[in-house]
Amino acid sequence: MRKIILIGNGFDLAHNMETSYMHFLLWYLNKVNDSWNNSFYDDKFITMKCNNVSISKLTAKIEHVRDFLSYVDNNHIQLTFKCDLFIRIIKNAIYYKWVDIERIYFEELLRLYKIIEKVNFHEHNEILKIVNNLNNCFEQLKLKFIEYLGEKTKELPFPNEEIAQHLKNITIDGVIGNEINEVFVINFNYTSTIDIYKEIFKESKFKVLNIHGKLNEEGNPIIFGYGDEADTYYQKIEAINNNEFLKHFKSFYYLKTSNYRTFERYLTCPGFDVYIMGHSCGISDKVLLSTLFEDKRCHRIKIFYHQKSETENDYFEKTQEISRHFKAENKGRMRTIIVPEEKCVPLVSFKPEGKII
């Protein structure tokens, strides 16, 4: 039986790797604070000015976005954001305690499209300039995020015993006699954390596909963008006939390598099971996930959920996210192939002393 494991950012977080967008944002704000000379700061995203030379930098590490904004307000610093995308990212970090840069980017793109729908043709050029600025900001965020990950992932973490056991169980799940499971890992991260478990798969047919690229690998560039071509507005956006609106859709970047074709070859078998480890299953990856989940050869979808507390996990939310990848006529089948919560386990147990952003 073929086993397909989806690895997302939660997999890295379970190894105490600070690889989330929220970690990245706090790193950036601390970099700003380190470079701030009490009078002027400027980069691709913000400008800061202050006439009060007597103020000092934040001496403590910035651990919350509010820490930085409070410092700015209390010292009457003039803070200017250079693009609406970055403002939205900051607001999400404050109000929702999490950040999905790719989703926020698409929401901004959609907002600009809706403006174009309403204004007359002569005003289109002004909106297109804003779209161009949005795309440039998103591209700069991508480059900065790659820089951040390069700093944070120089060394691989140690294996996690619970995750190692999950992976061992997958290699033998459903095996009859001398049969050998084929294990394919689809890694949505840009990191190589899964490599620390290769020894577990030595008796299996094992491959890793870094579907969104890999850090420091020229032949497999990072894919950073949005992936929901099924959105009701996508065809309308295409009809504008302006490529700036399509600049950061993942499907076009899949064509740069053979990764997506390799993924499709993974599905050419009598049947396969899917195991979700730390992937949000959000619609930013809908192009790929819909293809995977709706394939009639998909027998099971098993969730290794995030244990938020001793009594709360994200199994229910995960099933809601997964449901968005099924067409209405396939919802019944969806309910038969998702493994019930009572037969699922957390990726790692809840640890009261630890906190993952």
Q: pLDDT in tens for each of the 357 residues of the chain? A: 799 999 999 999 999 999 999 999 999 999 999 999 888 999 999 999 998 877 888 888 999 999 999 999 999 999 999 999 999 999 999 988 788 999 999 999 999 999 998 888 778 889 999 999 999 999 999 999 999 999 999 999 999 999 999 999 998 887 766 677 799 999 999 999 999 998 888 767 889 999 999 999 999 999 999 988 888 899 899 988 899 999 999 999 999 999 999 999 999 999 999 999 999 999 999 999 999 999 999 999 999 999 999 999 999 999 999 999 999 999 999 999 999 999 999 999 998 765 544
- CA–CA separation, 80 and 251 (whole Å): 34
Same domain, 191 and 331: yes
Same domain, 181 and 132: no
Token readout for 298 is 């998909």
Same domain, 148 and 161: no
- CA–CA separation, 340 and 348 (whole Å): 18
Query: End of a domain among 152, 180, 199?
Result: 152
Label residue 353 exposed, middle or buried (CB < 10 Å: 0-12, 13-18, 19+). Answer: exposed
Same domain, 200 and 301: yes
HSE, CB side, 13 Å, CA atoms: give it for residue 164: 12
Same domain, 52 and 140: yes
Asked, for residue 317, whether it belongs to a domain, the answer is: yes
Asked, for residue 247, whether it belongs to a domain, the answer is: no
Q: In sequence order, which ranges of 36-188 are alpha helices (DSSP H)?
A: 65-74, 84-95, 101-118, 124-152, 161-172
Query: End of a domain among 132, 152, 172?
Result: 152
Token readout for 84 is 């609406």
> What's the total number of domains in the chain?
2
Helix axes 124-152, 21-35, angle to 10 degrees: 90
Tell me the whole-structure pTM to 2 decimals: 0.93
Same domain, 269 and 186: yes
Instruction: Provide the CATH number for the domain around residue 313.
Output: 3.40.50
Residue 205: count other Cβ atoms within 10 Å of its Cβ: 13
Query: End of a domain among 152, 186, 201?
Result: 152
DSSP 164-225: HHHHHHHHHTT--TT---EEEEEE-SSS-GGGGGGGGGTTSEEEEEETT--TT-TTSPPP-S
- Beta bridge pairs of residue 41: 48
Domain of 297?
Answer: 2-18+157-221+257-343
Choose among 125, 2, 98, 101: nearest CA to 45: 101
Same domain, 165 and 148: no
